[in-house]
């Protein structure tokens, strides 16, 4: 028997790693039943013996949809569950990355002239898979909206257990999206097959963790790097994954990503031919960006400066939290060169984004 998730949670609280939160602990009760069910029944039901097994839960539910505001601990709880889920046939993936994978698999399948491309793609995903955990389910793309219904139907039919986090109730997914009526069956499927659970935790823990922490480090050097390393480790718990964003058919890679947070260097984001569409995609995918190594900008770095302005505008409009290291204070970053006058606005935004309350209420806006 594995250890109960509540006990693991309590240990982390006792160790001072987490603050006790009744709503989080309550959410663990359902996750724990799912964990116990997996312990008894770790193989996919779609095996030959499928019909001899009881349905996973008396309710016929096949997983959990955990939703709530940002920073409430959804990803943390799901990760805790995932880490202790007693099956080797498990996979945790960012929803956005998963859908990109699905779209390219569909593309390949269609080329073979198969009639229903979703079928082989879903079978491929479900093969040897018992548990699929998605972080941050959200649907904004019409191509995704039009296929998720049938895709999930097939995953459920194959006996895959699905646990997902989301900032929205299922009813609010793909809100105001094109052809939304065609999307409604997916909402019904989610509500039928998943336990929809709201995480109404006490506070935005991400914001709390940052409250009072320095978020702009200058000058550059070993000290700034060390400080940023420490903040990043605290926020991610030392975990990272690669997130690929698809922008107009191109791929923009965020090599260091975790749970709505990304870490990149100034040169990664402003030293390459990226534009507003790329930055908007970034803003859509993260709530917090760690941007390292902003250099002093001058006329010789005109293009970099221009991109930097665009990036900061996008982050600002999207209420993304920014943690940065820079050679200079915001006001002294770009003193000469075309557009240095307009840079004043960027500097002022950089200042404002250092404020303690910055980034709050992002949920209401998105």
Ligand X SMILES: Nc1ncnc2c1ncn2[C@@H]1O[C@H](COP(=O)(O)OP(=O)(O)O)[C@@H](O)[C@H]1O
Residue (213 or 354) nearer to ligand X, CB: 213
Distance of CA 21 to CAs 28, 66, 212, Å?
A: 11, 16, 21
Token readout for 17 is 């790693």
Q: Residue 21 touches which of Mg ion, ligand X, none (CB < 5 to 8 A by kind)? A: ligand X
CB of 71 to Mg ion, least distance (A): 8
Q: Which of 23, 3, 9, 10 is nearest to 202 (CA)?
A: 23
Kindly tell me which residue out of 45, 74, 90, 96 binds ligand X, with binding defined by CB under 6 A. 74
Q: Which does 70 bind (CB under 5 to 8 A by kind): Mg ion, ligand X, none?
A: ligand X
Residue 318, SS3 per DSSP: coil
Single residue of 30, 61, 130, 206 touching ligand X by CB under 6 A: 206
User: Does 163 contact ligand X by CB under 6 A?
Assistant: no
Alpha helices in 112-221 (DSSP H): 118-126, 142-145, 148-157, 184-193, 205-210
**Which is closer to ligand X, CB of 148 or CB of 288?**
288
Asked if residue 326 binds ligand X (CB under 6 A), the reply is no
Q: Is 70 in the site for ligand X (CB under 6 A)?
A: yes
Q: Is 73 in the site for ligand X (CB under 6 A)?
A: yes
Residue 121 or 259: which CB sits closer to Mg ion?
259
When CB distances are held under 5 to 8 angstroms depending on the partner's kind, the choice from Mg ion, ligand X, none that residue 73 binds is ligand X
Q: Which is nearer to ligand X, 130 or 321 (CB)?
A: 321
Which strand ranges, in their side-by-side order, compose the sheet holding 216-217? 216-217, 321-326, 288-294, 261-265, 250-258, 241-247
| 97: CB partners within 8 A, 6+ apart | 243, 244
CA atoms within 13 A on the CB side of 121: 26
By CB under 6 A, what part of segment 244-283 binds ligand X?
259-260
Q: Angle CA(330)–CA(365)–CA(193) in degrees, nearest 5?
A: 130
31 interacts with ligand X by CB under 6 A: no
Q: Which of 18, 26, 146, 189 binds ligand X (CB under 6 A)?
A: 18
3-class DSSP assignment, residue 33? helix
Q: Give me 140's structure tokens.
A: 């904004």
Using DSSP's 3-state secondary structure scheme, residue 137 falls into coil
Q: Which of 62, 75, 310, 325 binds ligand X (CB under 6 A)?
A: 75
d(CA 97, CA 245): 7
Question: Are the C-beta atoms of 154 and 278 separated by less than 8 Å?
Answer: no
Q: At its nearest, how many Å lie between Mg ion and the CB of residue 235?
A: 11
Q: How far is the CB of 237 from ligand X (least distance, A)?
A: 6
Establish if 164 lies at the interface with ligand X (CB under 6 A). no
DSSP three-state, residue 116: coil
Nearer to ligand X, 30 or 72 (CB): 72
Kindly list the residues in this chain that would bind ligand X in the complex (CB under 6 A): 18-19, 21, 24, 70-76, 165, 205-206, 209, 235, 237, 259-260
């Amino acid at each position: 028997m594995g250890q109960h998730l509540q006990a693991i949670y309590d240990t982390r609280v006792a160790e001072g790693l987490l603050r006790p939160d009744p709503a989080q602990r309550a959410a663990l009760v359902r996750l724990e039943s799912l964990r116990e069910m997996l312990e008894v029944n770790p193989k996919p039901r779609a095996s030959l013996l499928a019909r001899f097994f009881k349905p996973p839960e008396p309710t016929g539910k096949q997983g959990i949809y955990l939703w709530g505001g940002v920073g409430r601990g959804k990803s943390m709880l799901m990760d805790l569950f995932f880490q202790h889920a007693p099956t080797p046939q498990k996979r945790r993936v960012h929803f956005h990355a998963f859908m990109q994978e699905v779209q390219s698999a569909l593309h390949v399948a269609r080329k073979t002239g198969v009639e229903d491309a979703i079928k082989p793609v879903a079978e491929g995903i479900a093969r040897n898979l018992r548990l699929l955990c998605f972080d941050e389910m959200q649907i904004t793309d019409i191509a995704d909206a039009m296929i998720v219904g049938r895709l999930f139907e097939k995953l459920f039919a194959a006996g895959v257990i699905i646990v997902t986090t989301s900032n929205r109730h299922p009813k609010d997914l793909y809100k105001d999206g094109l052809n939304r009526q065609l999307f409604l069956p997916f909402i019904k499927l989610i509500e039928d097959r998943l336990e929809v659970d709201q995480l109404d935790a006490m506070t935005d823990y991400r914001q709390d963790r940052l409250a009072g922490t320095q978020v702009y480090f200058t000058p550059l050097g070993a000290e700034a790097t060390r400080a940023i390393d420490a903040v990043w480790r605290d926020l991610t718990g030392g975990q990272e994954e690669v997130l690929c964003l698809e922008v107009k058919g191109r791929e923009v890679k965020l090599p260091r990503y975790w749970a709505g947070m990304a870490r990149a260097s100034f040169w990664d984001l402003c030293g390459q031919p990226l534009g507003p569409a790329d930055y908007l995609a970034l803003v859509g995918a993260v709530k917090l960006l760690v941007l390292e190594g902003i250099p002093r900008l001058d006329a010789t770095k005109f293009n970099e400066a221009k991109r930097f302005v665009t990036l900061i505008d996008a982050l600002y409009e999207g209420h993304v939290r920014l943690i940065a290291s820079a050679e200079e204070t915001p006001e002294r970053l770009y003193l000469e060169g075309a557009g240095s006058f307009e840079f004043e606005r960027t500097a002022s935004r950089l200042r404002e984004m250092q404020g303690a309350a910055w980034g709050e209420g992002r949920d209401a806006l998105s």
